[in-house]
Structure 1
């Protein structure tokens, strides 16, 4: 390791004692982009008394996530901060050899052939959801997509299909996620939110009760339903015997939380973007009409729907569900001429990197055509990472890719959702990028496709 003196790139001076803490907490999306526009590829901001490094270049993303992942851990994995308080020791919150071992154990549940087997269930549940919709009515699409994706995730991964339980879980997740983690992973100390504490704890208890009851029932019956839970119950952890209920609980909770949260936000934002870009929507509807002719989509249809895939890829670029990632250095490292000390927190932001003009050309334009291989658009590794990169890339990415395509194609067989007049669309950047006030949308009938669908 170099003996060069510790150095950090320049950044905003901030306020006495708290630095840029208020900007970081109150307007992080604008704060991140302002940092990149003012200071370029790297900047340092004081968050409280702690310097935080921000890196905004594709080569930085590669350095942290692909080339040197073992020198960086996620904040909170050792201290119990942030998500770890809620999710425990799931794949999102563990690091090092523990993460590598647990990921190998869980990976078979997300192999392509198993994920593909969920396609019919995804389409069926989507159809059941839209059967309850009425042309001309206004629905909160964020809530509708939360219920639908939560129902899919609990059925396909854990063989549970209870409408009452799904709604209870949806409310509980909303309470826990919207009220935020009880500890700041950046500040490393408690941030008071006493008014929400009781409600958050009740939401967490509801979720824990559901998961532990499910584990107990499955252990009692010994039934192998071919789902993730059955696999975890049967797994052995080296010579230590079967996995504990706590270990299984943490994995199950992580899959349910991450699985439906990412999908519901993707669908909400994609439908919003399509409502704001009628030329893109018209092109997508034409592709769906040509390939499906009004019938429900199947797994075999997806290769013939490249524009649908491009629309979702562009939505993930435009409004990434996971809008930033953080890492803590285990050892000193050197990057772009700076000698960064161990224990420095670094933030990598999809929100910024997905919108770099020198990479994307016209990042402010919602243009799915950029994902056409014939477009000439060159996307360097590290410029696009909605699910992360490297050994910690989201294990559920194939599930999310399949689900969002099938659900969007199914919705458009009956309806063309439009943003409701007067709707307030405001970002709520929590763990994921949520619409703060939901997504009220008017359900216009897709009259051209309804007759064909009714014949199926």
Structure 2
């Protein structure tokens, strides 16, 4: 006989209190090295197979060309392996199943903040990119309404206005650096759409301070470790302080306005000032707003620049891919002005296929560094708690057993017929699961707007040999810019077809 207890079961209520701010991170080089030493010493199981020998050659080689090292590791050891870089063993997980494991099914086993993404906190603070757990979930829930379709459409008008002005200054047969040009354009768009700032007014120095701060992350690992007057880290902290003064000052000014005025401002800053937590009714502090907006400024402007740059690089190398794009534009748009409604994947499907293929070949956020928070097993291999681990969209997008001829530019991979055949987890340019890029729709619309505006007026001609050296910090970008010639839309040169 089963005896039922008369004592009522205690139900655990979800914790709806406001989560505490994440603990600060140490950026002392010695502290960081000691942390990695302890992680290796105290590991609770062996590392996955790989190359554990200390090697300066491997470390420098990985900095120059991580893709070839990751693909070689995958071929030799399988989807989970270890490489010792500097003095630190780093675990890598590649492939569709590995991506799904890290991003979706077992995401709770990993910390973003304790991975090297925490290195972004001197600039970004405790934004969505650098936090975990309840703090991250609360911030994301409060920010989601800012990225609804109607809000994105409002930003679309700002995008089109800035793009029309920027492209309107081009002249036939002039040379432009499409990377540098897009970088400045994307920053202007972000300043207006995110902050409501006038890029040509007194707030315009936000752009130069942001670029000065961001330059720190373009330095190699050794220079990032330097401290003291004149060091890259010192310049980063000074530029961040100037940004804080301007942005926190703007937040204070906006606080004095009514909630309705902020809701109707049309920019993200105003919306966040008016936003409240659905559970406890609390709003975001000035520091929280500053951190979230800076995170979006960082993520949006760099990723858009990378995608637009490599899109025109590949179209210059593959001029035959231009034909369906121009035919689609003529059929859908004719000669009428662009509107935000035209900037959807459904409106221009041929362009969307090209953009998707560019994000496969050159995913801006090419690596996802984490730290393992609990031991786990994947593909029959155990991974110890406490060690650094990364997935890589760039490497996963170039696996020949997933993507036939992965180095080839083939937009048809993403046709209506072929896209459903792509394995789950194989294509992750925007991450996945609860960490899918919150600004994805904003970024996609911006790329479509820039690409469509240029293609309706001009054709960009690349270098004769079609070569480009890629750097990986902080996002994928051409190491020496991307100089291109502005040609008439119907003109053609043999330089375009050089591979």
TM-score of the two chains, using structure 1 as the length reference: 0.88
Helix, strand or coil for the counterpart of 1:179? Answer: helix
In the alignment, the residues of structure 1 paired with residue 224 and residue 458 of structure 2 have an alpha-carbon distance, to the nearest angstrom, of 46
Q: Secondary structure at the match of 2:402?
A: helix
Q: Does 1:342 align with 2:385?
A: yes
Q: Which runs of 5+ in 1 are unaligned?
A: 449-456
How far apart are 1:401 and its partner, in Å?
1.4
8 A Cα contact 1:313 1:371, kept in partner: yes
Aligned partner of 1:104 in structure 2 is: 141
**In the comparison of the two structures, how many residue pairs are matched?**
440
Q: Corresponding residue for 2:483?
A: 440
Q: 1:42 aligns with which of 51, 56, 80?
A: 80
- SS for the counterpart of 1:30 is helix
Query: Equivalences for 1:16-55 in 2 at 5 Å?
Result: 20-55=58-93
2:226 to 183, 192, 204: 192
User: What is the root-mean-square deviation of aligned Cα atoms in Å?
Assistant: 2.8
Which stretch shows the higher mean deviation, 236-245 or 320-329?
236-245
Report matched runs for 1:46-445 at 5 Å: 46-76=84-114, 81-163=118-200, 168-180=205-217, 191-192=225-226, 195-222=231-258, 223-224=261-262, 225-236=265-276, 242-301=283-342, 302=344, 303-375=346-418, 378-420=421-463, 425-445=468-488
Cα distance change of structure 1 residues 424 and 213 upon mapping to structure 2, 3 Å threshold: farther
1:8 Cα deviation from its structure 2 partner:
2.9
* C-alpha contact 2:459 2:490 (8 A) present in aligned 1: no
Unaligned runs of 5+ in 2: 1-43, 492-499
Mapped to 2, the partners of 1:376 and 1:160 lie a distance apart of 39
SS in 1 for 2:356: helix
Deviation of 1:183 after TM superposition, in Å, equals 11
2: distance between equivalents of 1:296 and 1:397? 24
Higher mean C-alpha displacement, 32-41 vs 321-330: 32-41
Deviation at 1:207, TM superposition (A): 2.7
Distance change (3 Å), C-alpha of 1:227 and 1:207: same
Q: Quick one: structure 1 residues 215 and 65, their matched pair in 2 at CA, closer, same or farther if it must change by over 3 Å?
A: same
Is the CA contact 1:211–1:253 (under 8 Å) kept in the aligned structure 2? no
How many angstroms apart in 1 are the aligned matches of 2:473 and 2:449?
A: 27
Q: 1:277 to 1:19 in 2, by over 3 A?
A: closer
Q: Name the larger-Rg structure.
A: 2
Instruction: Give, in angstroms, the shift of residue 57 of structure 1.
Output: 1.5
Distance 1:396 1:286, change over 3 A: same
CA contact (8 A) 2:154 2:266 kept: no
**C-alpha separation between the residues in 2 aligned to 1:206 and 1:132?**
31
Deviation at 1:447, TM superposition (A): 5.4
Q: Tell me, yes or no, if the aligned pair for 1:13 and 1:45 is still in contact at 8 Å.
A: yes
Call closer, same or farther: CA 1:42–1:397 in 2, change over 3 Å: same
Quickly say closer, same or farther: Cα 1:105–1:24, change in 2 above 3 A.
same
